[in-house]
Amino acid sequence: MDSQKLQFDKIVSVGMFEHVGRDNLPCYMSKVNELLVPGGTFLLHTIIGMFEGLTNSWMGKYIFPGGYVPSLRETICFLPEYDFHLIHAESLRMHYAKTLDQWYEKFCENKVVIQEKFGERFVRMCGLYLKCCAAAFRVTGLDIYQILFTKGLNNQLPLTYAHLYK
């Protein structure tokens, strides 16, 4: 077996960071650091709260046990520890609210089948979750960000985002 470490030029994480729990956030970032080559880029797509604090008790018990929604400040504070350099941060808050609306519509279209398979309690909880989350993204500090950073300085990245639209 090859003794070389597995490493990547680019890593993308979608919807994982908020599920590892507060105590595991440093371990998560350490693993990204281990897997990313110098100059490599990492895109972190995650739910972000306005302030540090406890997760909603209902969500913590029934939907995402062990999860923790970090604040943007908390997340960015990890970067210097690993010589990660922030390139771009984008809020997708309203996009995600609309996504949750669409999920709710599809959920309702299939409610009978879902209820037959998982029961009325599950249907009520999922419907409540989807509608409450959509509202939370619209009216509270709950957000979803895409945060792009590099491991160490990377002076080879394009200076604009024009290449994305070709």
Residue 89 lies in a domain: yes
Instruction: Give the pair of three-digit tokens for residue 93.
Output: 């808050």
- Alpha carbon 107 to its chain's center: 22
| DSSP line for 18-52 | GGS-GGGHHHHHHHHHHHEEEEEEEEEEEEEBSS-
Residue 4 lies in a domain: no
Residue 28 lies in a domain: yes
Q: What's the pLDDT score for residue 96?
A: 97
In this structure, are residues 63 and 42 in contact, taking their beta carbons and an 8 Å threshold?
Answer: no
Residue 113 lies in a domain: no
Q: Is 133 a catalytic residue?
A: yes
Residue 101 lies in a domain: no
Domain count of the fold of the chain:
1
- Alpha carbon 120 to its chain's center: 29
Instruction: Give the pair of three-digit tokens for residue 155.
Output: 């002076």
Catalytic, out of 27, 77, 126, 133 = 133
pTM: 0.88
Residue 102 lies in a domain: no
pLDDT along the chain (166 residues), means of 10: 78 95 95 97 96 79 86 95 96 97 98 97 95 94 95 93 86
Residue 44 lies in a domain: yes
Q: What domain range includes position 34?
A: 9-93+141-165
| DSSP line for 97-143 | HHHHHHHHHHHHHTHHHHHHHH-HHHHHHHHHHHHHHHHHHHHSS-E
How far is residue 62's CA from residue 57's CA, in Å, rounded to a whole number?
9
Q: What's the pLDDT score for residue 1?
A: 45
Q: What's the pLDDT score for residue 163?
A: 84
CATH number for the domain including 159?
3.40.50.150
Residue 124 lies in a domain: no
